[in-house]
Amino acid sequence: MLVPDAGASALSEQYFRSEHHLRAEQVTHTLLIQQGNTGGTVRIPLIVRAIDETSYRDAISPYGFPGGVTDGWGSLPAHAVDWRGTELVSIFVRERVQGPRCFAGGTARNEVFFVEPDRPLTPREMHRRHMRRNVRLGFVSTVRAARNASPEERAGFREVYRQTMVRDQACRRYFFSDAYFEELFASPEAWLATTRAPDGTVASAALVVRSDGLLHYYLGGTADAHLARSPAKNVFGEMIDLCLQLGLPLHLGGGLSPGDGLEDFKRGFSNASGHIHTHEIVCDAAVYATLAEGHAASDFFPAYRSLHRP
């Protein structure tokens, strides 16, 4: 059953299913699935979207790692579910990083990295050397509840994040609105880690959120003017201190693509790794095949939304 309730049926205290995140992501529905006669249910927040130039719709999980709310749910493979009642063409589900999954199996995505507070941790020597150098040069780092961050700190974060997205040539989806950030800053499950340059301006910053037993490095960036000093390393040091203080593993994420520089950077701060999982669900195979005609074969899902053509 697809419930048009803006995700209310999937609300929880966990950030990625919180009212702040679901509002920021403009979630429209909850997917409610009941498992046979056992009474087990899973409730998954979704963004239902019209498919351009058609009368059809599809859906996607909000950004991040929301998974769903499980209640006596036994993890079934997605193909065991009767999807006809959704009247959707396809659904893309992002699972939690750890913990109960919506469905068995799934697609293993990029390798991601963790700081486990109960395991020995020795960040890469180069990282530690650069962090010490920045402190000697007058860079100052802090971490505080995002709700307690000053307007100037919030503006500084937004600016270094924007510069990073421009530098990385990110797609439009990652240029979040001020309203999106205000929802994030208002959450009781969010922290802002900031490194300031000697002149007092924000050199690098990151937003950390708590969800499903983990701290997650969610969004971050570094000012163009300070890239050479790698102040993000000092920000990572603050995030690690927070995870040790709270006794929660820190999920650092992975790279933009396997083996890239960002992946190597995060690996140098971690003491564990794993993979995130997604599910690419085709609800109406005939319509999906028709819509996908003329699109190049790729890993992108759904294929008919890919911008790449033969």
Could you give the CA distance from residue 203 to residue 159 in angstroms, rounded to a whole number?
Answer: 10
User: Do 213 and 117 touch, CB atoms closer than 8 A?
Assistant: no
Mind listing the pLDDT tens digit for each residue in 20-32?
A: 999 999 999 999 9
Q: Please name which of 52, 57, 56, 53 lies closest in space to residue 31, comparing C-alpha atoms.
A: 57
pLDDT value at residue 308? 52
Mean pLDDT of 4-29: 98
Q: How confident is the model at residue 310 (pLDDT cuts 50, 70, 90)?
A: very low
Could you give the CA distance from residue 175 to residue 184 in angstroms, rounded to a whole number?
Answer: 14
H helix or E strand, kind and range, residue 152: helix 151-167
Query: In sequence order, which ranges of 177-297 are alpha helices (DSSP H)?
Result: 178-186, 232-246, 261-267, 285-292
Structure tokens at 214: 């983990």
Could you give the CA distance from residue 244 to residue 157 in angstroms, rounded to a whole number?
Answer: 23
User: Do 130 and 293 touch, CB atoms closer than 8 A?
Assistant: no
CATH classification of 117-270, choosing from 3.40.30.10, 3.40.630.30, 3.30.70.100, 3.40.50.2300? 3.40.630.30
Could you give the CA distance from residue 67 to residue 30 in angstroms, rounded to a whole number?
Answer: 12
Q: Is the pLDDT of residue 219 over 60?
A: yes
User: Do 21 and 62 touch, CB atoms closer than 8 A?
Assistant: yes
Could you give the CA distance from residue 232 to residue 11 in angstroms, rounded to a whole number?
Answer: 33
Could you tell me how far CA 105 lies from the centroid of its own chain?
A: 20
Mind listing the pLDDT tens digit for each residue in 155-175?
A: 999 999 999 999 999 999 999
Cα 25–30–34 angle (5° rounding)? 150
pLDDT value at residue 38? 66
Mind listing the pLDDT tens digit for each residue in 91-141?
A: 999 999 998 999 999 999 989 999 999 999 999 999 999 999 999 999 999
Could you give the CA distance from residue 65 to residue 251 in angstroms, rounded to a whole number?
Answer: 11
Structure tokens at 206: 């990151």
H helix or E strand, kind and range, residue 57: strand 57-60
Residues 6+ apart with CB under 8 A from 45: 7, 10, 17, 22, 27, 29, 30, 31, 61, 62, 66, 68
Could you give the CA distance from residue 192 to residue 219 in angstroms, rounded to a whole number?
Answer: 10
Q: Is the pLDDT of residue 239 over 50?
A: yes
Domain boundaries of the chain, sorted by first residue: 2-109+277-305, 117-270
pLDDT value at residue 182? 97
- Number of residues that make up the chain: 310
